[in-house]
Structure 1
Amino acid sequence: MSTRIALAVLMLVATSACAAPSSSQGANLRGKVYVSSSVTEQGKPRALVEGTRVELRFTDDDRLTANAGCNHMQSPVKLDDGKLSVADISMTAMGCPKPELHQQDEWLSNLLRATPSWKLDGANLVLTGPDTEIVLATEKPATLEGAWTVDGLVTRDAVSSVPAGVKATITFRGGAMAVDTGCNFNGGDRPYELSGQTIKVVLGPMTDKGCDQINEVEEVIAQTLGKGEFTYAINRSTLTLTNAEGTGLTLKK
């Protein structure tokens, strides 16, 4: 009899180990940010809009914030019995520069509303809906080094989007900074000095070509960086550069 009881206990332990994630395991997600590394739909890879990814952030007060490249979503979230359940998703109403971004917002919103299952696979979070699976990795803190793409123009406390089709990058690498807009900033390296959160750099001469909407972005870049000194701040994957007058840029990696 004792042998049968022991076997029953072992089977119960094994079954519990394979069970769906519990609410206590869900607490392990609190305070973490996950970003998509792969998306599969109906068994085939789904390509996201270029330059975008799915981001899920689980707050310490049991809320979920989500983003698929344009608008931000948020809702209270429950993670009981291996299911991700949102009570009511609210979404910002920004005008996305591409229709595909609006469609991608709706796609992610519909997936979250469908009470997808979730599990932790090592350090990865796997979210599975009726016909979609997203594998997300924990977000690594961004550093100043590397290439950043301008996505916002800050003037007098107002932030405007970069015009559609315009791409401007600022790269920090090995003590040199390069600005490239494909027009009057041509990506030439300029040495910079870093002191705390302050960057000092001399941009040097630039050309004066007319490049339609690119010139609007170049004007804000020149105002922000051209005075020789500006501050930087990094919040997750967003870099903000600001001069003493408050003119600035937001950039994404």
Structure 2
Amino acid sequence: MHTQRTAVAALALFALAACGTEKGTAGSSTPAEPDVPLTGTGWTVDSVSADGTVRKAPAGAGIAFEKGRVNGSSGCNHFSAPVTVKDDTLTVGAATSTLVGCPKNLQGYETALHKTLTGRLAVHLSGGKLTLRTGKGDSVTLKRKPAERTPPLVGTAWKVDALTDGASMSTLPRDTAGTARLTFAKDGSVRGKLGCNRVSGMAKVTGSTVTFGPLTTTRMMCKASAMTLERRLLKVLHGPVRYGIQHRALTLTAHDGTGIRATA
């Protein structure tokens, strides 16, 4: 299983801001510029321009803005980072990223992305296009994703694609990718697969909490990596667990801060 690192040269890190409000100084008749409104939006990365070279982003490269954070994929690795915004300037915090070994044709793009999206970035938002630019002129260009219906927790098939621990995130073992899935049913049951064995049980949804009852599993023996993943998932899927859905991503977080991320 891949370990986490804190990326000093942050991955795609962007600002989240509520719709602009007037923030002028007391007694001033001129309101301040509103912050760039990005919270709740999703974007595909079009290209990265760094050191005079423009690199097109691979399929699947994109980001989604939440309150105070940005999550996304470089087309190979997943990332998450805190961000702040003031007027039309983004300030990038430190990011965490999965460490999947990417194909050679993606390495140059990821390296350029890491180098470009760090520190203070000027923002230009026009229609469905967003440009983030460094002080020396390197930039990242993004395109607005069409609005998507947020999938419901119940009735959606969720594919587990990462393990979380606080703000950090790690990918699943290579030979278990795509094998862990969960589906919550209207009758309060939950069924799925944990990378090796099938699982079933009851799960009560109340507000932003899912409370799992005892889960039963089949008794197959699998590879060590699959069994390790299964134990991690069963530890999370126990008792009350906090859940959240952003765009097409579901997070389930246990009381100790460990959790899982899944996509619809």
Report how many aligned residue pairs link the two structures: 204
Aligned counterpart for 1:91 among listed residues 76, 94, 102: 94
Return the TM-score normalized by structure 1.
0.57
Q: How does 1:26-105 map to 2 (within 5 A)?
A: 27=34, 29-30=36-37, 32-36=39-43, 38-41=44-47, 46-48=57-59, 53-56=62-65, 65-68=69-72, 69-72=78-81, 74-79=83-88, 85-86=89-90, 89-92=92-95, 94=96, 96-100=98-102, 104=110
Do the aligned residues in 1 keep the contact of 2:71 with 2:80 (CA within 8 Å)? yes
Pairing partner for 2:216 from 197, 204, 214: 204
**1:110 counterpart residue number:** 116
Q: Distance in 1 between matches of 2:121 and 2:58?
A: 21
CA distance 1:238–1:180, shift in 2 (3 Å): same
TM superposition shift of 1:73: 5.3
**Structure 1 residues 249, 41: CA separation in 2 closer, same or farther (over 3 Å shift)?**
closer
Rate the CA distance shift 1:218–1:241 in 2: closer, same or farther, 3 A. same
Could you say which residue in structure 2 is the equivalent of 1:149? 160
Counterpart of 2:170? 161
Measured on the aligned residues, the alpha-carbon RMSD in Å equals 4.4
Match of 2:242 in 1: 232
Contact kept, 8 Å, 1:34 with 1:56, in 2: the verdict is yes
Tell me if structure 1 keeps the 8 A contact 2:182–2:192.
yes
Shift of 1:209: 0.8
Structure showing greater radius of gyration is: 1
* Partner Cα separation in structure 2 for residue 172 and residue 179 of structure 1: 9
Q: Any gaps of 5 or more consecutive residues in structure 1?
A: 1-22, 60-64, 80-84
Q: Give me the TM-score of the superposition, normalised by structure 2.
A: 0.56
Residue identity opposite 2:116 in structure 1: N
Q: Which amino acid aligns with 1:144?
A: L
Q: Give the match for residue 225 of structure 2.
A: 213
Higher helix share: 1
Work out whether residues 45 and 62 of structure 2, in 8 Å CA contact, stay in contact via their aligned partners in 1.
no
Aligned equivalents of 1:177, 1:202: Cα separation in 2: 11
Following superposition, the deviation at residue 152 of structure 1 comes to 1.6
What runs of 5+ residues in structure 2 fail to find an aligned partner? 1-21, 23-30, 49-53, 73-77, 133-137
C-alpha distance 106-200 of structure 1, shift in aligned 2 (>3 A) = same
Q: Deviations over 1:160-198 (max 9, x none)?
A: 63443233222224334222234223xx66554434534
Cα deviation for residue 104 of structure 1 reads: 3.6
Matched, 1:223 2:230: no
Identity between Structure 1 and Structure 2 (%):
10
Relative contact order higher in (CA < 8 Å, ≥ 6 apart): 2
In the other structure, the counterpart of 2:130 is 127
